[in-house]
Amino acid sequence: MRRRIVCNFDVCIGCRLCEVYCITSHSRFPHDVLKAFKLDGQRPVPRVTVEEEGVLSFSVSCRHCQEPECTKSCLTGALQLDAELGIIKVEEERCIGCWTCVVACPYGAIRPSPGERKVAVKCDLCGGTGEVPACVANCPNEALRMEVWVEEG
């Protein structure tokens, strides 16, 4: 089983609440937006970003591809498919910050972290627990949804 977040750009208004709740869910205060932004020292980088072109807005996040270029390009094996959760995960301890995955991702969904230790940052579906990710749960226009599919073979 695989999972990913899909954006309906026809109803995305570019409000960036997906970014806000992504940051919050990955902070020390996962249920308090104000504390996440004001008290967490270095703010976590959002693992989802909003791109805009004219009136078109859409949320960009990891597609957890079936044939992921990021895992193929990773020099240390830090990016791996977690078959149980159905997502591509970053093992931060193994990441050396070479950014080959950033270049290899065709969706632009992987970014360098802003912290002292440079590691790849990408959507992890809020831990991949099967719960609805924070960005999906808090999108005011329901532009985001989690898609689940079973691989054949």
**What DSSP string describes 63-78?**
---SS-HHHHH-SSS-
- 76-85 confidence digits (pLDDT tens): 999 999 988 8
Q: How far is CA 67 from the centre of its chain?
A: 17
Asked whether 107 and 63 are in contact (CB, 8 A), the reply is: yes
- 1-16 confidence digits (pLDDT tens): 788 999 999 999 999 9
- Start-end of H helices in 61-125: 69-73, 100-104
- Whether 92 and 135 map to the same domain: the answer is no
CA–CA distance, 72 with 91 (Å, rounded to integer) = 15
Report the pLDDT value the prediction gives residue 120, as an integer from 0 to 100.
Answer: 95
Whole-structure pTM value:
0.89
- Whether 56 and 5 map to the same domain: the answer is yes
113 within some domain: yes
- Whether 104 and 135 map to the same domain: the answer is no
Count the domains in the chain.
2
**Range(s) of the domain holding residue 54:** 1-62+127-147
- Whether 75 and 49 map to the same domain: the answer is no
Q: Which positions ≥6 away from 43 have C-beta within 8 Å? A: 23, 27, 36, 37
The CATH number of the domain where 118 resides is what? 3.30.70.20
